[in-house]
Amino acid sequence: MQLIKVGAAILNQTPLDWEFNARHITDALQAATAQNVDLLCLPELCITGYGCEDAFLSPNTRRVAWEILKEILPATAGMVVSLGLPLLFNNALYNTACLAVDGKIAGFAAKRFLAGDGIHYEPRWFKPWPADRQALFNADGVEYPLGDVYFDCGGVKIGFEICEDAWVANRPGSYLALQGADVILNPSASHFAFGKDNVRERFVLEGSRAFGVSYVYSNLLGNEAGRAIYDGGALIASAGKLLARGPRFSYADWGLTTALIDLDATRLTRAASGSYSPDLASPAGDCVRVPFRFRRHDPLPTAVPAPSWETSPFVKEEEFARALCLGLFDYMRKSRSRGFVVSTSGGADSAAVACLSAMLVRFGTAELGRDAFLKKLSYWPDLAPPLGEHASDDRALVSKLLACVYQSTRNSSSTTRDAAQAVAHAIGARFYHFDVDSLVQGYVDLVGRAIGRDLTWESDDIPLQNIQARSRAPSVWLLANLSGALLLATSNRSEAAVGYATMDGDTCGGLSPIAGIDKAFLRRWLRWLETTGPEGLGPLPALHAVNAQAPTAELRPASALQTDEADLMPYDLLDVIERAAIRDKRSPLEIFRLMQVDFPAIPLPQLALWVERFFRLWCRNQWKRERYAPSFHLDDQNLDPKTWCRFPILSGGFERELAELRAAVAASQ
């Protein structure tokens, strides 16, 4: 039995924050040394940060990354460690993993398959390294192996699949297995999306089984660069069996997951397999041999702890809460903002944003303890409440961190005001009530005098609605600016799809945290939060006042009985149409036929009207989506035009396709 101890580290990095990133790496290395880890995998591009974007092309970025690598090397003494950074070779930039062995550079494995879909844009900066190609990289007068290489460290063969390499059909691991690899390292920057953790676990387990190896997967953690949230979730598997799993959504700067792997066991598995046939014809140039002496380890029982929330029937609700809270916390501290301001309407969207902003305190203090949580916000010296009987109360921290503002006009109701106040009180936020009706009427009168007529609901419905939303923006911006807080916009994804939002009104803010989630799920999540809530936090019954209402913008007079779904269409239908149109690229007529099956109770003329309404509003409002504040990516489908869903601001508006839809409906009558 030949045992070696492997480790996978998760790191909360920030693009181009050199000292911050290096400290987290060295802290993880020190912890690994203390735990007698032999082989450690760190996340993809961990030195620079993954989200550097066009700064990857800067010579300075590469220069400093190389300097940081050299500074880190001494901390790798006694271990084999993977460290990610970009390298320029023959005037092309490559995403590489440096393998450091006992304090020295052994070589660089280059990423072969680049992520260029969805949120990823790697081909803009990097070139894919071709298979079966090796080169020598010269730095500081020393030549290092670079490219499609694997390593033999003291008789243990180590190969790489760098993030996307493991997501493709032609995985490099299949070649590495034929070369007799013992361990495959996967340094990743894999952003969070609902259900994605299950996919990662499958390719780690299947890779370890099919290739007959031990597989070590490490990932980034937290909100690294603004839009993507990384959930961590290190994994270690051997011969198809999961040996260790790291936590997800941690508030720590780094985490270390370790396991003992048995090299003899995986080698025997391959030897006993009738389908395994090693490649004896390949040249030896792709194997880098480095002397290294592994420690002796005594066998220990293997456990795979998993938080019970991971197996909850409400895992999507749990993931949403934990991902958004961690994303908000990191965005706040990395932007050095002093808390949040939320314009609360008494409705679902603003209630969700306010609850998430408060819940991050409970998640963070529960994991780190109050002192360590506050240390992460040390740039904000007056955050901690005064010492006293409530000094350790999370509500006192929430009160410092979060302000909720209800801004009423003559069209606002006591129902929404009371709901907004009840939620703010329940979560411990400060609550303000601004009456902005006089501001609204001032604008209405000003314009009416200028154009020589009164503005009326009969002739000026949309402008009169919009001015109310826009009149609320200056006061919440002022409140946020007074304390250096971050103003959070409250628009959701369903509204973004059809432009059901007022620019410079309810869309104003520096961050739009729920713009990536649809309204139907958001309402379901709030009902779950009211009655159940995240494990360890529990329910928030005060949300009943929000959940009992039909969603409404409350911008028309009360006599109009305005609701969102009356203005648009049922939210569950809207969300299905959006996915069919935008994700699946279906035509209006195709979607109409699909909706006939999914929503058989809706009369065909009404269904056709709603499908047409979606396409007209989608095309008309691309300019709004271009102007939305940054949002978080929560699933592998998104409407963010800067990083995911590109659509022309000006277009033909699907006129031909909509004519086909109308003709088909007419023919069916």
Superfamily of domain 3-306: Carbon-nitrogen hydrolase (3.60.110.10)
Closest by CA position to 201, among listed 317, 310, 340, 280: 310
- Using only C-alpha atoms, the chain has a radius of gyration, in whole angstroms, of 28
The answer to whether the CB of 106 falls within 8 A of the CB of 100 is yes
Closest by CA position to 191, among listed 183, 178, 200, 203: 200
The answer to whether the CB of 286 falls within 8 A of the CB of 148 is yes
Amino acid at 380: W
Burial 60-69 (b: 16+ CB within 10 A, else e): ebbebbbebb
List the alpha helices (DSSP H) in 179-257. 196-211
d(CA 522, CA 567): 19
pLDDT of residue 385: 66
| CA atoms within 13 Å, Cβ hemisphere of 173 | 29
The listed CATH number (3.30.590.10, 3.30.70.150, 3.40.50.10190, 3.40.50.620) that belongs to domain 569-669? 3.40.50.620
d(CA 4, CA 494): 51
Edge to edge, what strands does the sheet with 150-153 contain?
241-245, 235-238, 214-218, 183-187, 156-160, 150-153, 287-290
d(CA 368, CA 317): 23
pLDDT of residue 302: 67
**The model scores a pTM over 0.75:** yes
d(CA 432, CA 519): 26
Residue with tokens 């699907």, as numbered in its chain: 654
d(CA 84, CA 35): 22
Question: Which two three-digit tokens encode residue 279?
Answer: 């490649």
538 by DSSP, 3-state: which?
A: coil
Question: Which two three-digit tokens encode residue 207?
Answer: 């890779």
pLDDT of residue 537: 96
Q: 501: exposed, middle or buried (C-beta count within 10 Å: 0-12, 13-18, 19+)? A: buried
d(CA 115, CA 125): 11
Amino acid at 138: N
Task: Please tell me if the domain spanning 3-306 has the same topology as the one spanning 312-563.
Answer: no
Closest by CA position to 492, among listed 374, 367, 351, 317: 351
Indicate the DSSP class of residue 643. Answer: T
Pairing of strands 150-153, 156-160: antiparallel
List the alpha helices (DSSP H) in 380-436. 394-401, 414-427
- Phi then psi for residue 243, to 5 deg, are -95, -35
Query: Could you list the mean pLDDT of each consecutive 10-residue stretch along the chain, which spans 669 residues?
Result: 94 98 98 98 98 97 98 98 98 98 98 93 97 95 97 97 96 94 97 95 96 97 96 96 96 98 91 77 80 90 76 96 98 98 96 98 97 95 66 85 96 95 97 97 97 96 94 96 97 93 91 95 97 97 95 85 90 95 96 96 96 97 95 88 92 96 91
Please count the residues of the chain.
669
The answer to whether the CB of 224 falls within 8 A of the CB of 11 is no
Closest by CA position to 608, among listed 588, 587, 579, 581: 588
* Domain boundaries, given as residue ranges, for the chain: 3-306, 312-563, 569-669
Whole-number Cα distances in Å, 534 to 188, 217, 351, 537, 642: 28, 27, 16, 5, 32
CATH code of the domain made up of 312-563: 3.40.50.620
Euclidean distance between the first and final Cα of the chain, in Å? 76
Amino acid at 76: T
Residue with tokens 């035009």, as numbered in its chain: 641
Which tens digit of pLDDT belongs to each residue from 87-140? 999 999 999 999 999 999 999 999 999 999 888 999 999 999 999 999 999 999
Which tens digit of pLDDT belongs to each residue from 151-171? 999 999 999 999 999 999 999
Question: Which two three-digit tokens encode residue 512?
Answer: 């739009």
d(CA 94, CA 103): 23
Closest by CA position to 359, among listed 403, 309, 321: 321
**Helices 519-531 and 571-578, interaxial angle, to 10°?**
130
The answer to whether the CB of 421 falls within 8 A of the CB of 412 is no
The answer to whether the CB of 156 falls within 8 A of the CB of 187 is no
The answer to whether the CB of 540 falls within 8 A of the CB of 533 is yes
Residue with tokens 């994303």, as numbered in its chain: 327
Which tens digit of pLDDT belongs to each residue from 578-615? 999 999 999 999 999 999 999 999 999 999 999 999 99
Closest by CA position to 86, among listed 142, 121, 141, 127: 127
The answer to whether the CB of 41 falls within 8 A of the CB of 216 is yes
d(CA 102, CA 171): 29
Dihedral of the CA atoms 622, 627, 633, 634 (nearest 10)? -70
- Phi then psi for residue 93, to 5 deg, are -95, 135
The answer to whether the CB of 54 falls within 8 A of the CB of 86 is no
Contacts of 287 (CB under 8 A, 6+ apart): 149, 150, 151, 152, 157, 179
Closest by CA position to 187, among listed 107, 111, 131, 256: 111
pLDDT of residue 389: 47
Pairing of strands 241-245, 254-262: unpaired
Closest by CA position to 288, among listed 117, 445, 104: 104
The answer to whether the CB of 103 falls within 8 A of the CB of 77 is yes
The answer to whether the CB of 252 falls within 8 A of the CB of 368 is yes
Q: Which strand (E) or helix (H) includes residue 157?
A: strand 156-160
Q: Which strand (E) or helix (H) includes residue 11?
A: strand 3-11
282 by DSSP, 3-state: which?
A: coil
Q: Which strand (E) or helix (H) includes residue 544?
A: helix 544-547
Residue with tokens 């994994």, as numbered in its chain: 235
The answer to whether the CB of 220 falls within 8 A of the CB of 202 is no
Pairing of strands 156-160, 80-89: unpaired
